[in-house]
Each structure stands twice: as structure tokens, then as C-alpha cells.
Chains A and B, each alone.
Chain A
Amino acid sequence: MTRFPRLLRALMGVAALALLAVACGDSTTDTTSPTTASNRASSSTTTAAVVSTTEGRTAPHSHHDPIEVPEGTPVPTLRVEVLEDPKSGYNLRLDTTNFTFAPEHVSTDPVPGEGHAHLYIDGEKITRLYGPWYNLPELTPGTHEIRVELSNNNHAPVAHNGRIIEDTAIVEVPGADDGSTSATEAATVDYEFSVEFADGDVVGGVSRHKVDLGSTVKLTITSDVADEAHLHVYDQMVDLEPGVPAELVFRADIPGVVEIELEGLGKPLMEFEIR
């Protein structure tokens, strides 16, 4: 027992080293949470190849620390859309506000409200984007995640409230021999609910609904504030514009009680009791 402290000190050294080693990988602030199963997210699509936008939710990763939008500067927004090219392949369209593409200033000092964007496909960085349109390279059949991050002139991601401003679109590229699956997947909706959020509260209070396991639920959300609705556990998101009803469709295949909430405000909207 007399050697105890020396040994212990050695151990602490090991611990500290391990800690440091891991710490180097570090600390991009990120918006991300485990990948969304966004192929479930939308049944609004009937054809095979398409596109549902969800907030970016996969592993991040730029090599720079994000830079917060300074107080008082309008916060840029970004929406990513993937459109099928009439001939072949896909085109990417970025819809930005409060943000100017400034390829002429790239790799210089950051200026709030200007910069470029970074394109990631399935987590892999593909290229810089210097403008709102881009023709995507050939995509293999299957599901692909197209993610775009707004970037400052110095390549540091643009962030607001600790979250990188980014958006993700999911593209389903039909395979040679599958054509059938997606079309039939446009499932019938078993339950339809709607909820309205106004003046800081859910109109009529937060309600709880019993839902049979395995059924498809369609929820229409209207909010008087811009936010994002998050269905916990299923981890599905939908963006909300003030006054514009948004739809969220999910297959209730996980039993238990789950809640959908306004992610930004942290207010619950509705609960589902799935059994």
C-alpha cells in the first residue's frame, strides 16, 4: 500500500493523456443529432426520386471553429433543394436570406453576412459552392444525404446560438431494379391530427392521443412563430414558418409515450401514446 500514491499518479497521467488525445479531435459546435430517418419523413412524394428537406442532422465537420453571427447583424438562413434534372442527374439550389455569396473574398477575413458554402454528400466534403446553383455529380442508386453549410470567407462555418447554419436534403436515387418500392410506400394515413401554436401557447392545451403501433400518423402544425417542430425518439423535424401549416408524417413503430415540441422555444405541442 505504500506505493499507492505513486501508482495513482502514474494512472492519472495516463488518464490526462487519454483525455488530451481525445480533446484534440474536438470542438466544432454543432447542430447535429443522430441521423434522422428522413426517408420516413415525408409521404408527400409519390415518385421515386425526391427530396425532403430536413434540418442538418449528421456528423459535422469542418476544420474551423464556427463563428457566431454578431449581435445586431441579421441572421442568415439557408434552405437546400434538390431538383431532378430533366435529362439526367440532379441540380442543387440554395435559397439564402441575409447572405451574399462573395467568391471574390474567399480565404480572406470573415465579414458578417457574406461568404460561400460547403457541400457534403453522405458526410464527405465535395466542394465549395460560390453561388446558389450547382449540378450534382452522378449519384449511385440509394439514399443520399446532401448537406450544405454556410461558411465565412475564412472557411469557418457560420453559426447562430451555437448551431451551424446548414440544411440537408435527402435524395432517393432509384436503382436499376427497384421502381416499385417507393411508389407503394406512399402509405395510407391512419390518424390525422392538427395543432396550433399562438401567443406563446398551444391553442386548447397540450393534448395526448392514443395511436396504434404500426399506424401512420399525419400531423399538421400551424405556428405564429418561426421555429422547428421536433418529434422526439423518432427524431423527425419540420421547419415552421409563421402562419404556414406544416405537415409531419411518421410511422408509429416505437411503443411508448413521445412528445413533439417546438425545439427553439422548448414548448411541447402534443403527445402520442403509442401501443
Chain B
Amino acid sequence: MILAHGIGARADLPISPVALAWGATVALVISFGALGAMWREPRLATEAAGRPAPAWADRLVRWSVWPARVVALLLYGETLGAALFGSRFDVLNLSPFMIFVGLWVMVPMIQAVLGDIWSDVNPLDQLAVVAERLGDRLGIRRDRSFSHWPAVVTISGFLWLELAYHSPSQPRILGWLMVLYTAIVVGPAVVWGRNWSRRADGFAVYFGLVAHIAPLFRSGGRLHLRRPFSGLGRVEIRPGTTALLLVTLGGTTFDGFSRTSIWRKLVVERAGWGVTAVNTLGAAWVIGMVALIYLYASRRARRHLQTDLRPEDVFASSLIPIALGYGIAHYFSLAVFEGQNLLIRLSDPYGSGIDLFGTSGWKVNFLLVSTATIAWVQVGAIVFGHLAAVVAAHDRALEVSADVDDATRSQHAMLGVMVAYTITGLFLLLGA
């Protein structure tokens, strides 16, 4: 993303054709290898049960939850305050860095390693607890359950702001949208409790899905360990979950696409809402294509399977590593470079010249990681995401099919989609 005034203005170099060829080859080999060589009994769901982590680790996590909650609430307040009252100039304001870099880019990367920390510290969830209690006191609580469709709506709204709207980093706009988002997620919790907020908070839902990749998770209140990626065998898919993953994946794809010269020629002659309109159509089109390919393939795969699940939900978990791989490929350098700006802004959130933590005088070091490292991280993330997706889909197919042959047959179509996604992702890294 390039936000106004050039937050994230440094774009990555196009990857070399050699790296592209390597990535594509590895992806194809993995895919065909998977058809023959993989296990013949479902394994992930069993692996996902994991084993208890050592007691000290469990205690460490227990003790750090409260301080982490406090910090998260303070950061939320600081971000909202900066957005509403700080400098109107985006690069001097904490809020765009916190929202687009800290929240949207860095949190999923952390979740993929450390597990679903967000569900513990999410400031909106903390506010929802208060709302819930308020509802109890007023006697208007009516618990009911919800699908993930509200989350699809809220995350789509965010992606529209990030990818389509012409002035996404304007602090005041961010401030009011933060208020609106909070109201949507927290407000109805007075009546419907956290059942609502947990299904309406698109960030929390997406971050929670990504956390299935991590080797750490909590079960029965205790910290557990499991093989990385095995959590993909136990993803709870609700109505809307698949849509949320497709929207996120499509959004990131559009972000890559919008950097190509083709797209930029379309946008360059427009300004203001004209840009917004073109980007909105483009994002909807790309998300639509990504979703269509997936829906088509999952319907074909379904013919070989015995399950009551809707076809698109069967393989939804395999979209998680692909979405994360895309995210890392597109935003790794942003996290490294603009992440430094985030630290700088934390010391001076309002752009008023104060220096809370002694970092406000820092300068971004654009040489922190080399361009070669960035390129290999990009290709690696996409290829590795592809590998994990293939494995997860294969395992799912075994779970819901009568025999290995059916499972393998069902995978032809799914492999087609994944190869399509992966090659697209790699080509977008050419960026030209």
C-alpha cells in the first residue's frame, strides 16, 4: 500500500526472473508430489491436539496477559487520541502507522508464530466485556449466536479504506472510523454480549484464523504446543469464514496488482473520488476473480467427497496459509521499514515534539535488510504458503472422502487453484 504522503512509499524491487522461476518450479513440484507421496490417513486433526507446554511457559503466559492487556488498551487510547487530536499530517501522527503497519501487517505475523495472542489483548474485546456487564445490569442481554458475516463486512470496510479510498492515512478520518468500528463491534455487545463482538470484529476473526498456523495455542486454559501448521486441521468454519479469507486474500492480491504499471496508468489521470471509484471497482473485480476460481474448484472437488459441508467450506482452512504467505510477501519490507517509523511515532504520537521513549529522533534505516533478503522472503513466503495449503487441503480431503483415490481425485481441482494463486502471486512480485 502507498498511503498519502508516501507512508510505505518505498516499493520493493521486482524479483528476478530466476527467483520467479525457482518459486514456480518448487510450487509445481510440491503440488504434483503431493498427489502421490503424501500420507494416506488424515493426520492434522490428531496432531492439532498437541501436548501441554512446560509449566513455566504456561505460568509466563498467564502472568503476562494482564500487563499485555493494559498495554494494548493504552495503545488503543493513544492511537485514537493521536488520530482525533494529533497532527493532521499523516507522517507525524501515530495512527496511520499503528493501524496499517502495527495492526494490519505486524499482528498477523506475530500471531502466526506465537498463537492467538490477539484474543487475549484485543482492546475491543476488553471493551465488549464492559458492554456485556452493562447489558446485564440493565437487564437487556439476549444472547444469541452469529455467523462470521458481520466480520466479512467490517474487514471489507477496512480493506476498502486501505486499498481503494484516495486518502486513507488522513488522521482525522482514521479517528472517526476507529470510533465507528468500535461502536459497531462493541455497541451491540450490550444486548448480544461478546457473541456479537467476536463475530463482528473482522480483525480479530482474521487474526484468530491465522493463529492456527502457530505452534502455540491455549486449550482448557492451558498453554499447549503442537507442530507448526497442524492447527489447520482444526479450524472452526462458520458461515462467512470462507468469504472473509477470500476477501482478505483478494485484497492483498489487488494491492499487488495496483502497483503494476497497467493499473497505475488507469489511476494516474484521475484524482480524489475518481481514484476511489476506479480502485473500488478494481478491488471488487480482483476479489471476485479470486473467489470465483476458488468456488469453482471447490465445487468440482466436492463431487468426490462425502460430506454435508458446503463445498466452499471444506477447504477453507487451506486458504489461511496462502493469505498469510501473500501478506508476508507484500508487507515484509513495509513491516521492517515502516515498523521503524511506528517506533519513532510511539514516542511522539501527536507530532507535538515530545519524546516519550527516546525514539522520536530516530531515522528509518532503509538498509536494515538487504533487497536480496527481501526478495527471498517474498518468494519463500508464497511458496511455503502454497506448500502448507496443499498439505492442509490433502488432509482435509482424506477426512471427508471414502478412500485415498477419491481424496486424490478431489485434489486435482484444488491444486489447480493453488497453483493459479501462487503463480499470480509470484508474477505480481515482478511488479512491472
Contact = CB atoms under 8 A, between A and B. Distances in A.
Interface of A: 4-5, 8-9, 11-12, 14-16, 18-19, 22-23, 25-34, 59-61, 162-163, 200-202, 205-206, 208, 230, 232-233, 254-259, 261, 265-268, 273, 275
A150 B410 CA distance: 71
B359 to A, nearest CB: 13
A8 B13 contact: no
A15 B73 contact: yes
A29 B11 contact: no
Interface string B71-110: 0011011101110011111011000000000000000000
10 contacts: A8-B126, A23-B81, A26-B352, A29-B89, A34-B91, A34-B363, A232-B9, A254-B366, A257-B14, A258-B9
A102 B94 CA distance: 38
The 8 closest A-B pairs by CB, nearest first: A232-B9, A25-B352, A257-B11, A15-B77, A232-B6, A19-B81, A254-B366, A256-B10
B373 to A, nearest CB: 11
Given A26-B352, A29-B89, 11 more contacts: A15-B77, A18-B74, A22-B356, A27-B87, A33-B89, A59-B353, A60-B353, A162-B88, A162-B89, A201-B268, A255-B370
B351 A15 contact: no
Contacts of A8: 126, 129-130
A59 B355 CA distance: 12
B13 A273 contact: yes
B264 interface: yes
Contacts of B13: 255-257, 273, 275
Nearest to A207: B261
Contact of B366 (A28, A202, A233): A233
Contact of B85 (A11, A27, A268): A27
Interface in B350-394: 350-354, 356, 363, 366-367, 370-371
Contact of B92 (A14, A33, A258): A33
Nearest to A6: B133
B4 interface: yes
A259 to B, nearest CB: 6
Given A230-B6, A233-B6, A273-B13, A265 B129 contact: no
Interface of B: 4-6, 9-14, 69-70, 73-74, 76-78, 80-82, 85-89, 91-92, 126, 129-130, 133, 261, 264-265, 268-269, 271, 333, 349-354, 356, 363, 366-367, 370-371, 431
B371 A256 contact: yes
B78 A22 contact: yes
A202 B269 CA distance: 10
A274 to B, nearest CB: 8
B89 A31 contact: yes
Nearest to B74: A15
A234 to B, nearest CB: 9
Interface centre among A5, A163, A265 (most CB of B within 10 A): A5
Contacts of A266: 4, 271
Contacts of B431: 257
A61 B78 CA distance: 21
Given A11-B70, A15-B74, A16-B77, A61 B9 contact: no
Contacts of A162: 88-89
Contacts of A30: 87-89, 92, 351
A256 B12 contact: yes
Contact of B367 (A14, A29, A59, A254): A254
Contacts of B264: 206, 268
A249 B126 CA distance: 52
A34 B354 CA distance: 14
A18 B4 contact: no
B129 A4 contact: yes
A202 B293 CA distance: 38
A102 to B, nearest CB: 28
B164 to A, nearest CB: 15
Contacts of A259: 6, 9, 11
A275 B371 contact: yes
A31 B90 CA distance: 10
Contacts of A258: 9-11
B271 A18 contact: no
Contacts of A32: 89, 92, 351
Contacts of B4: 266
A232 B8 CA distance: 9
A140 to B, nearest CB: 20
Nearest to B79: A19
